[in-house]
Amino acid sequence: MGIDVRLESAAALDEYALVPVAFQVREVFDVAPRGSDEFALTARALVDAYVKDYDASYGPAEWPHRFDVSNWAFFSAFERGMRIGGATVAGHTPVFDMLDGRHDLATLWDIRVSPTARRTGVGAALFRATADWAAAHGYRCIRIETQNINVAACRFYMQQGCVLGAAHSGVYPGLPEEVQLLWYKDL
CATH number at residue 144: 3.40.630.30
The SS3 assignment for 77 reads strand
Q: From the CB of residue 142, how many other CB atoms can be counted at a distance below 10 Å?
A: 25
Which range of residues forms the domain containing residue 42? 3-186
Question: Mean pLDDT throughout 24-30?
Answer: 97
97 pLDDT band (50/70/90 cuts)?
Answer: low
Task: Work out how many domains the chain is built from and give that number.
Answer: 1
Q: Please state, in angstroms and rounded to a whole number, the distance separating the CA atoms of residues 186 and 157.
A: 12
> Mean pLDDT in the chain?
93
State pLDDT tens for residues 30-80.
999 887 778 999 999 999 999 999 999 889 999 999 999 999 999 999 999
Per-residue confidence band for 102, with pLDDT thresholds at 50, 70 and 90: confident
pLDDT tens-digit map of 110-147: 999 999 999 999 999 999 999 999 999 999 999 999 99
